[in-house]
Amino acid sequence: MELETDILVIGGGSAGSMAAIVAKEQNPDIDVTIIEKAEINRSGSIALGMDALNIVVQPGITTPELYMNSARIATEGILDYKPSYVMAERSYSILKRLEGWGIRFPRDEENKYISLQVHAKGSFLLEMDSPDLKLVLAEKVKEAGVRVINRTIVTKLLVNNEQVIGAMGFNIRTGKVIVCKAKATILANGGCARFSLPNSGYLYGTFDYPGNAGDGYSLAYRAGAQLTGFEFTQCSPLIKDINCPLLYITLTRGAEVVNALGETIDLEYVSTQNMLKELREGKGPIFIKMNHLPEERIQDIERILFTTERPIQKKFWENRGVDFREGLIELGETEYQLCGGHGLTGIVVNEKAETTLKGLYAAGDVACVPLQHLTGAFVFGEVAAEEAVKFVNNNDLGEVDQNLIKDEEQRLLNVMDNNKSGSISVKDFEYKVRRTISDYAIPPKNEIKLKRFLWWLPRFRDDMKDIQVTDHHELSRYEEIQFILDSAELSVHASLAREESRWGWFHHRTDYPEKDDGNWLKHVVLEKGLKSGEVQTLLVDIENGGEH
């Protein structure tokens, strides 16, 4: 199937849905298409809603400048000023937009929004009551008249003269190839949740939605865009084994974290790094303790945890016979991930959501606006749409080289043909890839260890010929393994390049254990070498030195 559109949005989660809605708001005559790997009513990282909007600057209470102070501390200086400032500046209008759509933000007895402090300076996190947030977004997409193509994985961006002119992929049930030419393309398909192996050993037991396999990182890299922050491999202390979140909901309501010695852990601004340190130092297991909280507080916590984001927790605790009124909640380290929302990783974007490639915008977890959370996904969904609308007014559809399309179709057909009777299941293959990421690509890091991964990398790519692929669902998993390998390759190169330790444990090099602001207050930027086709690393100054 071939189609033409004005704006193609890849990924219909929080950022992508917002981008599509806003593009149609800006100009209803513009043709907008979303390609979604799952189904838009319940897709992306907020399929079952979210309990908070993490960054909201409320006029008269906090300021974008105060947020920037907090963000600089939280990112240890690896932060360009303008994109994060724009996010903070526009966050209140996002809140108002969501309220207008019926999303409830609880207020206290003085009619003020209930906010919680999880940043060093200022109380920016606003409670949000929205198990149905994604259904609401999908409804707005539908009302706006956006074309939605579900169950379709994008495998290639179409590029002509360093300009992105669309994308192609296939339906993961039928295998039908879809080629979509577009005047502007917005990448909004998430981070890489399937990076290292969860401690449970279960491939899909990840904290973030495991449909996000680094698709966007790989697509952007292969198309020639710049990426950054891949050395900051990040994890969290969450519910052991199931890796579901509960930290902010419990800790901002009076819960404490204690270690095996019964000591209460100092949690300055809910520092996850402090908790992880206790585990590394052998003071674990660590637990969340709530038995000192009043009954109504416990009920409030249960209401949120058991209805929103990961309601499966209710079943998990029932099965384990744990009641928050008495029992302790054991925390464990999640797998490591790459993410622009929770971390510092992503495609390089400016304050206009422009990537380094003409015609390509990026928003949400796939883009590097550090620690942007859901607020960033929504703000940069809006921004990307506004900029893309301007772009399509001045640009026509590009000329697509038909050979590129034929080659990609043939590549997919070849996998279906050649891998029918492969000897390794996609699952076994992914297990070993991610176990090897756990072995060599995550902290503590050193040069020899990181290079061990680079020894494995070509072997994995070569061995992919032995993966058994019997249907298009498995073909999509095969493609995702390539995305995971690309993400790991980028991460290892960035980790090797940054010869210092930064962002606490997450980029800890045992051969360069100190933080070195003199030399390393810089971005490690990655791109594909034009001639070599290999990963090139560049050091780029922080925009405005992180100052306004």
Interacting residues with other proteins (CB under 8 A): 38-39, 41-43, 47-48, 151, 172-173, 200-206, 209-211, 241-243, 310-312, 315-316, 319, 427, 473, 477
Task: Look up tokens 């292969």; give the residue.
Answer: 222
* Cis-peptide, bond into residue 444, ω within 30° of zero: yes
3-state secondary structure 377-422: HHHHHHHHHHHHHHHHHHCCCCCCCHHHHHHHHHHHHHHHHHCCCC
Residue 194 in contact with residue 434, Cβ under 8 Å?
A: yes
d(CA 170, CA 474): 12
Q: How far is the CB of 435 from other proteins (least distance, A)?
A: 14
Residue type for position 352:
K
* Residue whose CB is less far from other proteins, 194 or 493: 194
Enter the tokens of residue 193: 């949740």
Burial of 162 (0-12, 13-18, 19+ CB in 10 A): middle
* Residue whose CB is less far from other proteins, 50 or 79: 50
Q: How far is the CB of 20 from other proteins (least distance, A)?
A: 19
Mapped onto helix, strand or coil, the DSSP state of residue 77 is: coil
**Cβ within 8 Å of residue 179, ≥6 positions away:** 1, 2, 3, 158, 166, 168, 400, 405
> What CA–CA distances, in Å, run from 536 to 132, 405, 449, 533, 540?
43, 27, 20, 9, 13
Q: How far is the CB of 313 from other proteins (least distance, A)?
A: 10
Q: How far is the CB of 436 from other proteins (least distance, A)?
A: 19
Q: How far is the CB of 475 from other proteins (least distance, A)?
A: 12
Signed CA dihedral, 147, 215, 336, 528: sign only: negative
Q: How far is the CB of 113 from other proteins (least distance, A)?
A: 27
Q: What pairs with residue 288 in β-bridges?
A: 257, 329
For 388, phi then psi, to 5°, come to: -65, -35
Q: Find the helix packing angle between 402-418 and 472-497, rounded to 10°.
A: 110
Q: How far is the CB of 97 from other proteins (least distance, A)?
A: 25
Q: How far is the CB of 264 from other proteins (least distance, A)?
A: 28
Q: How far is the CB of 263 from other proteins (least distance, A)?
A: 28
* Residue whose CB is less far from other proteins, 228 or 308: 308
d(CA 109, CA 104): 16
Q: How far is the CB of 310 from other proteins (least distance, A)?
A: 8
Residue type for position 79:
L
Q: How far is the CB of 304 from other proteins (least distance, A)?
A: 15
Q: Which contiguous run of DSSP H or E holds residue 524?
A: strand 522-528
d(CA 147, CA 35): 9
* Residue whose CB is less far from other proteins, 43 or 495: 43
Task: Look up tokens 């039908």; give the residue.
Answer: 176
* Residue whose CB is less far from other proteins, 138 or 275: 138
* Residue whose CB is less far from other proteins, 151 or 373: 151
* Residue whose CB is less far from other proteins, 312 or 540: 312
* Residue whose CB is less far from other proteins, 74 or 133: 133
* Residue whose CB is less far from other proteins, 270 or 338: 338
Residue 332 in contact with residue 240, Cβ under 8 Å?
A: yes
Residue 441 in contact with residue 495, Cβ under 8 Å?
A: yes
Q: How far is the CB of 73 from other proteins (least distance, A)?
A: 33
Find the distance separating the first CA and the last CA of the chain, reported in whole Å.
Answer: 48
Q: Which contiguous run of DSSP H or E holds residue 93?
A: helix 81-100
* Residue whose CB is less far from other proteins, 46 or 368: 46
* Residue whose CB is less far from other proteins, 320 or 459: 320
* Residue whose CB is less far from other proteins, 117 or 470: 470
The 10 Å Cβ neighbour count of residue 109 is 5
Burial of 155 (0-12, 13-18, 19+ CB in 10 A): buried
* Residue whose CB is less far from other proteins, 317 or 391: 317
* Residue whose CB is less far from other proteins, 4 or 241: 241
Q: How far is the CB of 314 from other proteins (least distance, A)?
A: 9
**Cβ within 8 Å of residue 32, ≥6 positions away:** 5, 6, 7, 9, 20, 23, 24, 144, 145, 146, 147
